[in-house]
């Protein structure tokens, strides 16, 4: 007989204020309120990061050029999940692509609705389904839908 002891605990993540989150992520979140995706472009190599990095990992220089990228893009890779994060089976399989938005180099993870798992393919065009009431949260981008 194996014994398992469960200890209940809470972790208040709001008490952490990392410097990093005040930068590109904050800028992106404020744009999302207006249904816009704001990234940061490297002045040297042209790579566009989303959420924006303030440092180009390729060129090793500081960057700060805010740039709006498209909310349409291409599925670069995807997976189909059959269980939730606790391992319980999902009623419907969930499609999660990584999408490269037009004018952007980042591969952004999200959920894809409105298409059957067997019809998803790398290279398919998708767009953002924005929430009607946006608050400047990652939830403003509800999910992707086929273009």
Partner 1 sequence: MRNVGIIGIGYTPVFVSKRKDVNIAEMISEAVEDCFANTGLGPDDIDAMVFGNMHTFEGVNMPHLWAADYIASLGKPVMRIATGGTTGMSAIHAAYYHIASGLHDVVMVVCFEKQSEGDSQVGLMGIVTPEIMAMLQAGIDISGSSGMGALAGGSAGAISFQASSYLARSGAGIEHIDGMAALERRNAAKNPYAHLKDANATAESVARTALISYPIRFGHICPTSDGATVAILASEEKAAELADGAAWIHGLANCASDASAGNILEGVITDPAEQMPCQLAAKQAFERAGIKDPKKEIDCVEIYNGFAHQTLMFLEKLGMCEVGEAHKLLDAGELEINGRCPVNASGGVVSTNAIGTSAMNRVTECALQILGQAGEHQVEKDVHKALSHGWGGLMQYVTITVLADKPRKG
Burial of 80 (0-12, 13-18, 19+ CB in 10 A): middle
In this chain, which of 70, 102, 109, 125 binds partner 1, going by CB under 8 A?
109
Q: Find the shortest distance in angstroms from Cβ 96 to partner 1.
A: 5
User: What is 100-146 written as a DSSP string?
Assistant: EETT---EEE--B-SS-GGG--TT-EEEEEE-SS--SSGGGEEEEEE
Residue 103 interacts with partner 1 (CB under 8 A): yes or no: no
Residue 18 interacts with partner 1 (CB under 8 A): yes or no: yes
Write out the binding residues for partner 1, residues 62-91 only, by CB under 8 A.
76-85
In this chain, which of 27, 38, 41, 106 binds partner 1, going by CB under 8 A?
106
């Amino acid at each position: 007989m194996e014994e398992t002891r469960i200890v209940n605990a809470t972790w208040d993540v709001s008490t952490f204020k990392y410097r990093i989150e005040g930068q590109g992520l904050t800028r992106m979140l404020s744009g999302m309120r207006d249904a816009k995706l704001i990234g940061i472009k490297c002045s040297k190599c042209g790579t566009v990061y989303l959420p924006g990095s303030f440092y180009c990992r390729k060129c090793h220089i500081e960057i700060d050029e805010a740039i709006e990228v498209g909310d349409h893009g291409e599925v670069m890779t995807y997976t189909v999940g059959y269980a939730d994060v606790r391992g319980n089976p999902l009623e419907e399989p969930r499609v999660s692509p990584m999408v490269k938005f037009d004018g952007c180099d980042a591969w952004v993870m999200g959920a894809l609705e409105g298409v059957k798992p067997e019809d998803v393919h790398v290279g398919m065009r998708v767009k953002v389904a924005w929430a009607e009431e946006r608050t400047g949260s990652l939830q403003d981008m509800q999910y992707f839908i086929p273009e």
